[in-house]
Structure 1
Amino acid sequence: MLDVLPIFSGDDRITRLFTLVPGSDFEADALSAIDALGGHTVPWSEACDGTYDLVVAASPKGDLSQLRGPHVLLPHGAGFNKSIPHEGSADSASGLDPAYLRRIGHDDTPIALHALAHPHQVARLAATDPPAARHAKVIGDLTLERVLTSAPLRDRYRASLGTGARKLLALVSTWGPESLIQQHPGLPAQLAAQLAHDEYQLALVVHPNERSLLGTYELTERLAPALDAGMILPDSHEEWASVLIAADALITDHGSAALYYCAAQDRPIVSVHRGGGELIPDSPMAVLLGRIPQLGRAEDVAETLRAYRPGAGHAAAQAAFAPPGDAVDRLRTEIYALLGLTPPAHDVAARPLPLPAPAMRVPAAFDVHVETTAAGFRITRHPAGKALPGHHLAVEHGAADEQLARSAGLLYRRPLPASAAPVDLAWTADGWTRHALSAYPGCRSAAALLPSGECLLRVRGHERMYAVQTEPRPERGQVVRIDPAVALSAVHARLLSPQPAPESRTMLNCLIGERTFRIVLRPATDTEATHVI
């Protein structure tokens, strides 16, 4: 609804009122979403007393016939893929069910327009309810228009999420007993433990019905292990679509959100749907799920994603959406004709999606696995406690739990914000690293990260401090940088190895996934050691 209503923007002849048809198990959160936007809501009993120039509904369910005025029905979701057991007609697509469509269409509540997204949907409606099909027209999908309009903003969305050069793996869950969140509740945490933090970022898109059923607090508590590892849980209104645009790969159940992802790009997508009674055969989602790999264990996710063959997602999207581009104009023309009004002279376009919010919980302690190879030091980091212990525990001082700090092999401190104190007190790099090694007797190395990206590191038992600088990696016209804390783990491993400590400037390679980064390691100067941090 909120994707569609901007077709009236700038028209002071139109007043938009919102009401909620009783009977939904999820009505509280629906009203909260409208209230958050400042929409004017009307109680159902009051709404039923009025007569309206137009009644716009996103579902035919409920007693819509009590709202007097010509009705416009809009699809929500993509493709009419599901049949909800024990609801309406058996095996009928939710949203096209004659049992609900026949409840409206009386003289005082005629269906003036049933806006659909694909010619096949009109044909499906005609096969089950010929009278209803007389008012059906192919308009397109306005949510898809927003997704496609926003696709060029992919880099901005990724920057907002803090994705960087990592691969963003999104999971999408519909609602109900066959959904990902109910069938595979442990999958987000399993993936968070399996995937290296510096190579992958996770996001979970949850259907608003499922969020409403559990409540945000309950949902976040259930997902705490994955959220603590940095997983993103986007808002259900608009952010979910921004995250799909930003994603590099998708794991889906039988919910239709995956079709928007497929329409926007042809990137890997795999399924965790195990069958059931909801998916309608030959629907667009059934077409998609029949052509993409199925994920078994979380440990096999990278291999399963590689098994995706380009083109499968595009074919499913073509079955769900008519060629996009003019859905906004089509719907605006149809609705203003129903109102008997001339549209305003200004154009109306699909609105770009907003920037998604970053992860609320950023890991500050890592189990670091180090593999020494002929090419350099391969570093693989997992948030502490999510995977098996590695070569060392690397902890950000002041950001992680103090118990983790006391167990750290490598303790590092990031730059602090500028002080507003009239008389300031600050550590030098030399002073803080000496203090850290004294205060944390189990720590082997302590380091200060500077705003420049350079690091100053002291190793227990070594006379001098070391300066550490990572060189950026050029890549197809772009530059890839790593978190300096990753370079510190490579240097920590090097200086604790049997090799002699470097007496002068030396180079070592840090391997992260398929990338190699060059690190400059040298003894720090006396001036650098007194750098204020």
Structure 2
Amino acid sequence: MLVAVRSAGALHRLLDVLPAFDGDSRVVTRFTLVPGSRFDVDALSALDRAGARTLPWEEALRGAHDLILAASPKGELRRLSGPRALLPHGAGFNKTITDDGSAGVPSGLDPHYLLADGGPWAGLHALAHEEQVSRLERTSPVAARHAAVVGDPTLDRLLASAPRREDFRDALETGPRRLIVLTSTWGPESLVSRRPGLAADLSGLLPYDSFQLALVLHPNEHSDTGLFDLSRRLAPALSAGLVLSRPHEEWAALLIAADAVITDHGSTALYAAALGRPVIDAYDGGHELIPDSPMARLLAASPGLPAAPELPDALRAALAVDTRTLAAGAFSRQGQALTRLRHHLYRLLGLTPPPGPVRTRAFPRPSTAPRRPSAFAVRTEVSGERITVQRFPAHTREHVHHLAAEHPTAGQREAQSASVLWRRAQDTAAHPHSTAWTVWTAGGWTAHALAESPACRTAVAVLTPRRCLLRHRAAGLFSLRLEPHRDAGRVSYADPAAVASAVHAWLGTGASHAPPVSLLCDTGAITVRVHLETAVADDLDYEL
């Protein structure tokens, strides 16, 4: 069996199909890269990561194959010899590409690509929904004779992975925050092309302790731009904590972990809708979206996002939309895709399928670690012994109370301007091969920080998630004890650095600071209680 790929995105789709052959030693799989796509840059490295064995294109042309799997009919595929099975490149057929094939027809349903010498190019055209067969019959009746509705193996993987939602959120360090995922297709009408600053704008508006942002890009955008330039372009948002997903599999974990999705006209959002996630329309219009396609109907029913400040209203409106019903027009036979594909693919091979059920693999735990900001612009509101804290990236234009920065990771400008400096205790296991090293005590470092930083009013040593030592320039030394937030059997911890900013604001009100004092801190998603006590020796001597 030859798996013919033109891009990393096509390869990822086909990898979701190959478990249909699990356990069968009769089927030997080889991969080849079909020339002609500008998005083939990452395909070979993706094949290498998959551990695949490849055939050079010229060698693939010389031999006959028992089965050829492809996720795109474009390019020189028709030169390959053997029965062909064609699978969709994404969820549904929602886009037409200007100057590529027949005008106004998505390439996956375009007779320009699906017919060869007047006959059907593929012996199997595997589709996800009966509506797609009807559309294919209108554009290419000859090709439609070989169409079969099998469902969508990628959606089945998403549904099988849905029980891992909390595990995925733990890996992303989302906690009790709301995860907002931006999804972008590729090309001139994509979100990242039309609204390249949206992620940075949202990160500057949304409180860090209430929201987490992530971005899912089409694999073609990864291939065309490259990680180096993507990281440079997205630097302000990435430094504020934006999670940029890897192009293979991690995007799916982010959709499962998401609380809402902001999208252009790319079909990734249909998968989010099938999971029941609220969808917000950030597509500015154009010529690519096929009218009355599943994606067009989803966007028509979803609230729009004309500008970043309107996100709260759009989120409220999106919660009232039944996205699962809208996605049903793109997916049928849910949970059956691999079983149905196995039947059809083995028919083309002329073999009897192995006995027993075929297993749908869950998506793996995401491995991209979110970047934790090292400086925050902090807005506070003090009402007696209750303090509300909202933290934003340092580049925000929001009105704030003070700047807080982490030592030693914050930039020099932020560290010199910060009213609050904090430092987290390090694990001594970080020096496994050292014969000697020197560390600060919490008491020593907080005194040093105030002495070396004239702008600093409060220095905080974060000892554990529940203990801090705080030294205020006027009010003196305190040990802080943080209680976690408990709700329905779950325990959530506030970032001690956020609590430190709350205490700093309270100390600046001129209220009586004689310990012990108990304060309530609203840090966005959760409220925690913090106890201020006279500094104890164990905290003063705690080694950082």
- TM-score of the two chains, using structure 1 as the length reference: 0.95
Cα deviation 1:190-234 (Å, max 9, x = unaligned): 011111111111111111112212122111111111111110110
Q: Separation in 2 of the partners of 1:16 and 1:486?
A: 53
Partner of 1:348: 358
1:398 and 2:408 are equivalent in the alignment: yes
2:208 maps to a residue whose letter is H
User: Following superposition of structure 1 onto structure 2, how do residues 104-253 of structure 1 map, counting pairs within 5 Å?
Assistant: 111-253=122-264
Range moving further from structure 2, 36-45 or 417-426 = 417-426
Q: How far apart, in 1, do the equivalents of 2:143 and 2:330 lie?
A: 20
CA contact under 8 A between 1:470 and 1:520: conserved in structure 2?
A: yes
1:438 aligns with 2:448: no
Mean alpha-carbon deviation: is it higher for 241-250 or for 330-339?
330-339
- TM-superposed deviation, 1:27: 1.1
Tell me if structure 2 keeps the 8 A contact 1:473–1:479: yes
Are 1:492 and 2:501 matched, yes or no? no
Letter of the structure 1 residue corresponding to residue 499 of structure 2: A
Q: CA deviation at 1:375?
A: 7.0
> Residue by residue, what CA displacement relative to the aligned partner does 1:460-504 show, whole Å, maximum 9, x if unpaired?
133x420112211122331221011111111111112211222x2
CA contact (8 A) 1:293 1:308 kept: yes
Q: Following the alignment from structure 1 to structure 2, what is the Cα–Cα distance between the partners of residues 77 and 493?
A: 51
SS of the aligned residue for 2:345 comes to: helix
Q: Deviations over 1:429-454 (max 9, x none)?
A: 22121111112222111111113520
Task: State the Cα distance separating 1:110 from its structure 2 match.
Answer: 5.8
SS in 2 for 1:19: strand
| Residues 8 and 415 of structure 1: CA distance in aligned 2, closer, same or farther (over 3 Å) | same
Counterpart for residue 483 of structure 1: 495
| Partner Cα separation in structure 2 for residue 515 and residue 164 of structure 1 | 10
After alignment, is 450-459 or 414-423 more displaced? 414-423
Are the equivalent residues in 2 in contact too, given 1:60–1:101 (CA < 8 A)? yes
Note the C-alpha offset of 1:360. 4.9
Deviations along 1:392-450, one digit per CA (max 9) or x if unpaired, are 21111122123322222111110112144434533222212111111222211111111
The answer as to 2:36 corresponding to 1:23 is: yes
Partners of 1:482 and 1:254 lie apart in 2 by 37
Unmatched segments (≥5 aa) in structure 1: none
Residue-by-residue CA offset, 1:227-283 (whole Å, 9 max, x unaligned): 11110110111111110110001100001000111111x232110112211111111
Q: CA contact under 8 A between 2:114 and 2:121: conserved in structure 1? A: no
Distance 1:417 1:528, change over 3 A: closer
Alpha-carbon contact 1:410-1:444 (below 8 Å) kept: yes
Check conservation: 1:473, 1:481, Cα contact below 8 A: yes
Matched, 1:371 2:381: yes
The answer to whether structure 1 residue 101 and structure 2 residue 111 are counterparts is no
Equivalent position SS for 2:107:
coil
CA RMSD of aligned residues (A): 1.8
CA distance in 1: counterparts of 2:526 and 2:242, whole angstroms: 23
How many residues are treated as equivalent by the alignment? 528
Query: What residue in structure 2 maps to residue 523 of structure 1?
Result: 534
Provide the rounded CA distance (Å) in 1 between the counterparts of 2:438 and 2:145: 77
Is contact 1:377–1:511 with CA below 8 Å preserved after alignment?
yes
SS in 2 for 1:6: helix
| Equivalence for 2:462 | 449
Asked if the contact 2:180–2:261 (Cα under 8 Å) also holds between the matched residues in 1, the reply is yes
Q: Any conservation in 2 of the 1:193–1:387 contact (CA below 8 Å)?
A: yes
Percent identity (aligned) = 49
Counterpart of 1:63? 76
State whether residues 139 and 330 of structure 1, in contact with CA within 8 Å, keep that contact through their aligned partners in structure 2. yes
Cα deviation, residue 112, structure 1: 1.7
Q: Is the Cα contact below 8 Å between 2:494 and 2:526 reproduced in 1? A: no
User: In structure 2, how many angstroms separate the alpha carbons of the residues matched to 1:404 and 1:293?
Assistant: 38
The 5-angstrom pairing of residues 194-343 of structure 1 reads 194-264=205-275, 266-343=276-353
CA deviations on 1:333-392 (whole Å, 9 max, x unpaired) are 211122122223353211111111234532111111111235721101012223346222
Residue identity matched to 1:228:
S
Contact 2:465 2:493 in 1 (8 A): no
Q: Report what 2:92 is aligned to.
A: 79
Unaligned runs of 5+ in 2: 1-13
Q: Is the 2:179–2:214 contact (alpha carbons within 8 Å) kept by the matching residues of 1?
A: yes
- Tell me the CA shift for residue 28 of structure 1: 1.4
Q: Which moved more, 1:157-166 or 1:33-42?
A: 33-42
Q: Distance in 1 between matches of 2:118 and 2:269?
A: 32
Q: What TM-score does the superposition give when structure 2 sets the normalisation length?
A: 0.93
> In the aligned structure 2, how far is the partner of 1:461 from the partner of 1:256?
57
Residue 410 of structure 1, aligned match among 398, 411, 420 = 420
User: Given the superposition, is the C-alpha separation of residues 424 and 74 from structure 1 closer, same or farther in structure 2, using an over 3 Å criterion?
Assistant: same
- Equivalent residue, structure 1, for 2:47: 34
Deviation at 1:38, TM superposition (A): 2.0
Change over 3 Å in CA distance of 1:32–1:129 after alignment to 2: same
SS in 1 for 2:379: strand
Distance 1:311 1:371 in 2: 34
Shift of 1:309: 4.6
